[in-house]
Structure 1
Amino acid sequence: MTIYSSQRPVTAEEAYQDMCERITSLQLKPGQKISENQMGEDYGVSRSVIRTVFTRLSQRRLVEIYPQRGTYISKIDLDFISDLLLLRTAIEKEILYEIFETMDQSQREGLMNQLRDNLERQKKYSQSSGYEVDFKYLDSEFHRILIDSVQRHNLMDLMAEHMIHIARWRNFDVTFAHRVPELIQEHEAIYQAILDNRGGRAMRAMSAHLETISKIADQARAEYPEYFV
């Protein structure tokens, strides 16, 4: 049975995008062996199409291709993720700096209204143990509101190619440590610091929110050694 139910053929781009999602969401697990035959059956396409998809995934460090041995979903490289999170933290702290330095009172009030509305919707998930799709959207939206408020879309676009690795770690991190209630509290801390006009506190809250590896790395490696480099 193919993943796609439509009668039209699946394109290489559709298969590629769907595999990215399956890897990010951990449906395809780190270290898992995959084959051209199986993926071809899943998507109803030829091995040559899947071979092209695997090459693209390899270029993004999402799969490892070993001649004569097979293709494997890349394990999570926590050192690499740590570097990416450091870059993202620097960008979001710069965004906070610009919020405090460039926005007038009216603009700040509009920003706070958007963040408050987002947080109210987040609170509906305060008892969630998993990282539900709707909450993922709200989590991303909270940061997008901040980014959009100072029109710094290009800064995040610079990281777009690698954000998928952060997203995969986020899916693992939040589910493994049941962190949805904690994420909401962290967002609230950022919001409150901005509301109180405390720039330094807002930046510290953002750093604490984004630096997730040191909190659970040892336990995660101990319980899921097969997932990590």
Structure 2
Amino acid sequence: MINFSHTDATAATTLDDSVSAARRVYLSLRQRIVDMSMLPGVRIVERDLAEELGISRTPVHEAVQRLAEEGLVEVIPRSGTFVARIPLDGLDEAMMVRNALEAAIIEKAAARATPAGIDQLRAILAQQARAIAASDFRAFHRSDEMFHATLAELSGYPGVWPIILQAKTQVDRYRQLTLPLQGRMDGVLDEHKAVIDALAVGDAARAVQAMREHLDHVLPVLEMTRQLRPEFFTAPRPQGR
């Protein structure tokens, strides 16, 4: 049997607090980077963040290192730490993963969705409509995430959604730039409605097609967006011969 002294218990509590603080900082910074509250290229000063949050630098440093591993933060020797730019070359790959997983989800959902589940999706659609009316882009994005997460729940495979979330992190940053474009949110709303209508009658093929058409509209305005804000993106890799 292991006996812990008071000193050991205090040290363990301190360690737990540090881990908990690092996770809180990580989640907060990650959200700010993904929703573009912290823009690509912005310098991150760990000392300033620690002072802002009223904590030591250790959990801030741990959070920043974790974000760097995810490609959301870039540490440049002798220059500093910065919010990473959006990698153009990774967006198509991320969407390929998302398309495959969401097509599988929607096919299962078509077979399993109940009237109550369809009502739940329509309620989310109503939230999105209200967000459009208020020009609230972040509320629209949150309800968009809820729509797709609910589809995963209805499919019987809710664990697939966290995998999709991780895969599409950089795409979500890009989407924050496209939602304000004229008509973009209205288009998403119509696309979601087409998915729901197909699910409501149990037409799996039509539902999958509606989802594919919806996801195919995520990246088409990429070049225009990149030209508007080139400083937010990495340059594409040159194509090999």
Alignment of 1:29-48 (within 5 A): 29-48=39-58
Q: Which amino acid aligns with 1:185?
A: D
Report sequence identity in percent: 25
2:61 is aligned, of 47, 51, 67, to 51
In structure 2, relative to structure 1, the CA distance for the partners of 1:123 and 1:170 (3 Å cut) is: same
Q: Note if 1:222 corresponds to 2:227.
A: yes
User: Equivalent residue for 2:169?
Assistant: 164
Q: Note if 1:145 corresponds to 2:155.
A: no
Q: CA deviation at 1:63?
A: 0.4
1:90-124 deviation line (CA, Å, top 9, x unaligned)? 11111222234x43xxx543332222232233322
User: Equivalent residue for 1:117?
Assistant: 123
Cα distance in 1 for partners of 2:213, 2:157 equals 22
RMSD over aligned Cα, in angstroms? 2.5
TM-score, length basis structure 1: 0.82
In structure 2, relative to structure 1, the CA distance for the partners of 1:48 and 1:108 (3 Å cut) is: closer
Q: CA deviation at 1:75?
A: 0.6
1:179 is aligned, of 184, 202, 211, to 184
Secondary structure at the aligned position of 2:227 is classed as helix
Secondary structure at the aligned position of 1:64 is classed as strand
- Say if 1:12 and 1:49, in contact at 8 Å, map to a contact too: yes
2:132 is aligned, of 116, 126, 137, to 126
Q: Which amino acid aligns with 2:195?
A: I
Cα distance in 2 for partners of 1:178, 1:51 equals 41
Secondary structure at the aligned position of 2:180 is classed as helix
- Say if 1:78 and 1:213, in contact at 8 Å, map to a contact too: no
Q: CA deviation at 1:160?
A: 4.2
User: Equivalent residue for 1:18?
Assistant: 28
Count of aligned pairs between the two proteins: 217
